Structure 1
C-alpha cells in the first residue's frame, strides 16, 4: 500500500542543536504507529514535522505525494488532525463548544450528529454543557480528543481517509481512559486512517501499535513490530535500562518497572 506520509532525509536544527538527523520513514493508511524514546530523543519534534507545524531544515516531508508545506492551512486541516501535547483553553466555553471547534469551516448540520456520538465515545455526554475550565485535566484531554476526531471525520467526508496525530495523548488520563482512547484511535486506523502517536509507556505502545518507532538522539534506533522494538537490547541501548522482557497471553512484550535496573551510562 502506498504511503500517505513520507519523510526523506528530513533534519531539523535550532542553531547548533540537531533535534532530528536525516530521518527517512513512511507511514501507510490503516496502520497504527507509536513513536517512543527517552526525553529529548526527538519524538515530539518528529510529530511536528509530520503535522506540518515545523518545516525541515533539510530534506522533505510529503503528504499524499505533495510537499506538506505546499498545503494551505485550511486544506492541510482537512487531511490531518492533531492532538497536541498541551492545549490551553482559558475562556468559559462549554465542552460541546470546544468539541465543535473541530468542525470549523463545516456547517453545523454536518457536525451535530458526529458531536453527539463522539461525546458518547469519550464518555463526556453528561458534561457537554459544563464550562471547560471546570473539568479535570483528564476530562479536558478527552474533550480535545473528541474535537480532533470531529476534524478528522469531517475532513474524510470530502478528502478520503486522513491522518490522526497524537502527542502524548494519555499523559493525564486514568488507566481506563488511557486504554479507551487508544482503542478508539486504533478503530480509526481499522477504518483506513493512518494513526501516529507519541507515547512514553512502552506497554501501551505494544498494545496500541502495529509498528513502534524508537527514537534516540534525533535518529531512528529501531522501527518494527512490538517484539522487535521492545527488546532487552533496545532497553539497554536506548533507555539505559536492564529489564527482562515478559509476554502477555497474546504474545505481546511488556516490561515492569519493578524489574528495571538503571545502567551506569549516559
Structure 2
C-alpha cells in the first residue's frame, strides 16, 4: 500500500495542504477530483517527495519513503506529469527505455520488457516513429508506457502509477484508451492514482474517489458511495444534476449553466 498520513505543506505562511490522509491500494484505481487550486497536483508531488512536508509521513509498502533510496522508490512507483517536453528526435522505443534507468537489467532483458510494454499499451503501430511526430494523445500513451516500463520487474511487491491530469488535453478516444490501459494494468498487482478534472471519466474508471477543496480532503470513499450531488456541489460550489446513463446504467453528473435554473430532481445513486 502507498499511504500519505496526515500530511501538510506550506509555502511561506500560505498553507497549501492541510492534514491530508490517503491510501492507494494495489489493484485499485483512485481518482483525485476538485476545483482548480484545490491542491490536487501538490498532493501528488507530496506523495512522491517532490515537496518538503511540514508534517506527516509517506509510507510505501510498509516502509517510510524517506528510508528508501531514489532508485528503489523509482522501481516501486512512477509518475506521469501533466506535460513532458522532449526536443530530441527519440523514437518511441527510446522514450520507453528511459523508464528502465532505475533497473540493473541487461540490454536484452530491457528490450524484451519494452516489447511487452508496447504490446500492453497497444503501441505496435507506432514502432519506429519519432516522439515529435506524435499527436498529444499519442504522446501521452507513450508516456504511460514509459512509466509502465519503470515499475516492470519480477518482484511480487505492489507497484504504483501516479498520473497528473493525464487526459486534460486529449480527445475522447485517447482519454478512454489511456484510462482503459491504466485499469487493465491493475491485474499486475498495480495501483493507479490519477488527478482528473472530468468527473464523469473519474466515476467511470475509478474504484475510489478523493474530493479536495482548499488544500483539504473533504470526502473520500468508494465511487458508488461518494459520487453524489451533495459532495460534488459542496466541493465545486456549483449546481449539478445527477442522471442515469441510459446505455451503461451508470450515474453521470451534468453541470447547470449559470443562466439556467432547473427544477431539482431526485438524486440517483449507484445500485
TM-score, normalising length: structure 1: 0.89
Q: Which runs of 5+ in 2 are unaligned?
A: 261-271
Residue 144 (structure 2) aligns with: 145
State the shift of 1:55 in Å.
3.1
State the shift of 1:120 in Å.
3.7
Matched, 1:254 2:252: yes
Q: Is the 8 A contact 2:75 2:152 kept in 1?
A: no
State the shift of 1:14 in Å.
0.8
Residue 30 (structure 2) aligns with: 33
Q: Is the 8 A contact 1:226 1:252 kept in 2?
A: no
Matched, 1:97 2:94: yes
- What secondary structure is seen at the aligned counterpart in 1 of 2:27? coil
Task: Output the CA distance in 2 between the equivalents of 1:107 and 1:168.
Answer: 33
State the shift of 1:193 in Å.
1.2
Matched, 1:108 2:104: no
Residue 242 (structure 1) aligns with: 239
Q: Is the 8 A contact 1:94 1:131 kept in 2?
A: yes
Task: Output the CA distance in 2 between the equivalents of 1:262 and 1:98.
Answer: 47
Corresponding pairs, count: 257
Write the mapping of 1:202-213 to structure 2, written as runs, cut at 5 A. 202-213=199-210
Residue 15 (structure 1) aligns with: 12
Residue 87 (structure 1) aligns with: 84
TM-score, normalising length: structure 2: 0.88
Query: Per residue, is there more helix in 1 or in 2?
Result: 1
Change in Cα spacing, 1:205 to 1:262, as seen in structure 2 (3 Å) is farther
Change in Cα spacing, 1:121 to 1:235, as seen in structure 2 (3 Å) is same
- What secondary structure is seen at the aligned counterpart in 2 of 1:241? coil
- What secondary structure is seen at the aligned counterpart in 2 of 1:30? coil
Change in Cα spacing, 1:262 to 1:170, as seen in structure 2 (3 Å) is farther
Task: Output the CA distance in 2 between the equivalents of 1:17 and 1:98.
Answer: 38
Q: CA RMSD in A?
A: 2.0
Task: Output the CA distance in 1 between the equivalents of 2:54 and 2:168.
Answer: 29
